[in-house]
Chains A and B, each alone.
Chain A
Amino acid sequence: LAKTTQPISMDSYEGQEVNITCSHNNIATNDYITWYQQFPSQGPRFIIQGYKTKVTNEVASLFIPADRKSSTLSLPRVSLSDTAVYYCLAHTGGFKTIFGAGTRLFVKA
């Protein structure tokens, strides 16, 4: 199972772009990279998923270089409501999905 490493915490200000990088050096060929967001006292929710290159949806962008040993979640123009914990997973799905401690993003006014 691929182990991921991401910063414990990050601070930002409203309106800024936030990039959270995740390292997954031993990612397997079949693994996908998935990011979840969790607000306090709520369950995590899916943000974005990708295998390689760039994926964009209405919430975020995910950049994955060719070697796939890292990935970067990009949140454009964050607001106070983006304050949450963000989890990076490199997985083959199901019970093999491992949620680490995540990155605590704190957005300030």
Chain B
Amino acid sequence: DGGITQSPKYLFRKEGQNVTLSCEQNLNHDAMYWYRQDPGQGLRLIYYSQIVNDFQKGDIAEGYSVSREKKESFPLTVTSAQKNPTAFYLCASSTPRGAQETQYFGPGTRLLVL
């Protein structure tokens, strides 16, 4: 089955620690996105990538980093510089189709700080 997988489902971070969230898709989509969702809130864009080896900052990129070495993979690292990392993290992918583009989301990773 085609889809997006995120791992782990839950992740615990200690103070000063970097952690990496995995996102893999087998939909052959060019574009991939990382969003952060806080309780009761909408989704905020962290980073996006429209093609391999290229990515751009979204609205809240500070304290996060990404890489896009393969079309299928777009891992997100939450660095120690992100002072309030507790949130639900969602990865999405799409095939650019202009205004008719729709995004496919993974199941999410919930990050908690110990």
Per-residue interface assignment for chain A, residues 72 to 109, with 1 indicating a CB less than 8 Å from any chain B CB and 0 otherwise:
00000000000000010001111101111110000000
User: What band does the interface of chain B fall in when counting residues whose beta carbon is under 8 Å from A?
Assistant: 20 to 34
Nearest-CB distance from B91 to chain A (Å)?
A: 8
- Shortest distance from the beta carbon of A9 to any chain B beta carbon, whole Å: 10
List, in ascending order, chain A residues with CB within 8 A of B58's CB.
95
Among A11-19, A39-47, A57-65, which stretch is in contact with chain B? Answer: A39-47
Q: Is the interface of A mostly helix, strand, loop or mixed?
A: loop
Assembly CA distance A98 to B103 (angstroms): 12
Is B106 touching A93 in the complex (CB atoms < 8 A)?
A: no
Distance A93 CA – B31 CA, assembled complex (angstroms)? 11
Q: Quick one: which of B41, B42, B90 contacts A43, CB cutoff 8 A?
A: B90
Partner pick for A93 among B42, B43, B100, CB 8 A cutoff: B100
B48 touches A101 (CB 8 A): no
Tell me the nearest residue of chain B to A91, going by C-beta. B99
In the complex, what residue of chain A is closest to B94 when comparing beta carbons? A94
Bound-state CA distance A93–B94 (Å) is 10
A34: Cβ under 8 A from any B Cβ: yes
Q: Mark A20-63, 1 if CB is under 8 A from B, else 0.
A: 00000000001110100000011111100100000000000000
Chain A: number of interface residues, binned into ranges: 20 to 34
B104 CB → nearest A CB, Å: 8
Q: Nearest chain-B residue to A44 (Cβ)?
A: B105
Contacts of B96 in A (CB 8 A): 93-94
Question: Are B35 and A99 within 8 A (Cβ)?
Answer: yes
Known: A41-B88, A101-B40, A101-B42. A93 touches B99 (CB 8 A): yes
Bitwise, B82-114 to A at CB < 8 A (1) or not (0) is 000000101110101111111111111010000
Instruction: Using CB atoms and an 8 Å cutoff, list the residues of chain B in contact with chain A.
Output: 4, 31, 33, 35, 40-43, 45, 48, 50, 56, 58, 88, 90-92, 94, 96-108, 110
Can you give 6 contacting A-B residue pairs, CB < 8 Å? A41-B88, A41-B110, A43-B105, A94-B101, A99-B35, A102-B42
